[in-house]
Amino acid sequence: MKVLVVGSGGREHALAWKLAQSPKVQVVYVAPGNGGTALDKRLQNVPLTDPEVLAAFVEREGVAFTVVGPEAPLAAGIVDVFRARGLRIFGPTRAAAQLESSKDFAKAFMHRHGIPTAYYKTFASAADAHAYIDAQGAPIVIKADGLAAGKGVVVAMTLEEAHGAVDMMLADNKLGDAGARVVIEEFLEGEEASFIVMVDGKNVLALATSQDHKRLLDADAGPNTGGMGAYSPAPVVTPALHARALREIILPTVRGMEKDGIPFTGFLYAGLMIDPEGNLKTLEFNCRMGDPETQPIMARLKTDLVDVMEAAVDGKLDQIELDWDRRTALGVVMAAFDYPENPRRGDAITGIPAETDDAVTFHAGTTLQDGTLRTSGGRVLCVVGLADTVKAAQKNAYAAVEQIRFDGMQFRTDIGYRAIKR
Ligand code: AMP
Ligand code: GLY
């Protein structure tokens, strides 16, 4: 069978890599893909992004089903376009994707359905937002309502930063429409974890637990990024916490969406904040898998992903049980020069080791130009190591990282430190 993965990042490479391992699969198309998906003989890049054009391609090629990686095509309605043509696709509709594409929608939804989250208010007027910040004090968190490619959240430790964020979004319009409204919310403290499940409209299937590192520099210092590394499982998510996250956040969300007339299908990712007493709050929803969380998660999945996806598309997730490699998988992101500010493109990449049973490299911002692999985005690679302990998985990942070279490469040297401390 032929299947299609939409997207071009490390998450999509990992999904395509896993789908290609299925004996049922003849080819995995990746649209548009990257240098790594171009190099893998079982995968085939397709230079298309427009949903209607992709749907026509799927019809022409007889693609059995499509999996969507990133939020942008979901928020633009790719699932609606495919479904209208009777094509099988896994992801949320445009309306359901608002859980990620509008912070105000997500907060109002959580409020309405009693799902724990930080206290908040939404503003379109800069003057009102400034007055609210003065009344609340710092620290406080300012979030652009819309999708802003990771630039829409300012965790302000001072009033000055908070006012600056409001001016940037509401007065100076730096984020365009995405920042035309802002959500201002209470600052939460604790440890974050990513809780990712698959939803088929009714049934929920939890994936293995994971945790990522959002800050650029070691010891979680420096600016926020899309994620500099991730590992699975995440020991912070104990079995008790896992059950609470399902009961208090995921199930009420799935039921709430159904009740509101916009049933959720697709990957649902709740960013959790776990306070020192072990209580949970929802930081955010994503309507897709995490990147880089997907890379270690896929590295551990033993079940045939084709079976899982077909069950998901057909509303039969209750018939699937996932089988995981018991080892820890730990992924280190190698980023381009000047990421996240202004990542440089075009640097030649060498030394990526061949895949082994305990290390695999997924590509993100790479492109293959006349046989040379070059950087083409902020996060360039995610190098995943597998082993029986977090420490040994870390060692395997960094052993592979050490072999890879490109000018200006940046990576953290401490991915997994929280899990090792436990
Ligand atoms: P979000 O895109 O909403 O998850 O925000 C990005 C990052 O900002 C999160 O992963 C947290 O590290 C941080 N953050 C978001 N909301 C809060 C909050 N209410 N309190 C503290 N940190 C937050
Ligand atoms: N790693 C965080 C995200 O995918 O949103």
The rounded percent of the chain whose pLDDT value lies above 90 is: 92
Residue nearest to atom 1 of ligand 1 (CA): 284
Query: Ligand 1 pocket test: which of 187, 284, 286, 293 has the largest number of ligand atoms within 8 Å of its C-beta?
Result: 284
CA of 150 to the centre of ligand 2 (A): 9
Contact 227 CB / ligand 2 (< 6 Å): yes
Query: Is 214 within 8 Å of 238 (Cβ atoms)?
Result: no
Residue nearest to atom 13 of ligand 1 (CA): 155
Q: Whose CA is nearest to atom 2 of ligand 2?
A: 290
Summarised one tens digit per residue, pLDDT across range 52-102 is: 999 999 999 999 999 999 999 999 999 999 999 999 999 999 999 999 999
Q: Are 45 and 33 in contact (CB under 8 A)?
A: yes
Residue 290 Cβ contacting ligand 2 at under 6 Å: yes
Mean pLDDT value of segment 32-41: 97
Distance 202 CA to ligand 1 centre (A): 28
Atom of ligand 1 nearest to the CA of 152: 2
Q: Give the pLDDT band (50/70/90) at residue 224.
A: confident
Tell me if residue 322 falls in helix, strand or coil. coil
Q: Could you tell me which residues come within 8 angstroms of residue 86 by beta carbon, excluding any fewer than 6 positions away?
A: none
Ligand 1, atom 16, residue with closest C-alpha:
283
Establish whether residue 141 lines the binding site of ligand 1, counting it when its CB lies within 6 angstroms of any ligand atom: yes
Indicate the average pLDDT of the chain.
Answer: 96
| pLDDT the model gives residue 149 | 77
What is the whole-number distance in angstroms between the Cα of residue 292 and the centre of ligand 2?
Answer: 7
Residue written as tokens 């995921």?
250
**What are the pLDDT digits (tens) for 293-352?**
999 999 999 999 999 999 999 999 999 999 999 999 999 999 999 999 999 999 999 999
CA of 371 to the centre of ligand 2 (A): 31
Instruction: Identify the structural domains of the chain with CATH numbers, from first to last.
Output: 2-93 (3.40.50.20), 125-180 (3.30.1490.20)
| Cα→Cα distances 31→5, 78, 148, 327, 420, Å | 6, 13, 22, 31, 37
Is-above-0.85 flag for pTM? yes
Q: Are 187 and 173 in contact (CB under 8 A)?
A: no
Distance 202 CA to ligand 2 centre (A): 24
Ligand 2 contacts CB of residue 291 (under 6 A): yes
Ligand with minimal distance to 147 CA: 1
Taking alpha carbons only, the member of 314, 369, 377 closest to residue 340 is 377
pLDDT at 422: 82
Nearest residue (CA) to ligand 1, atom 7: 153
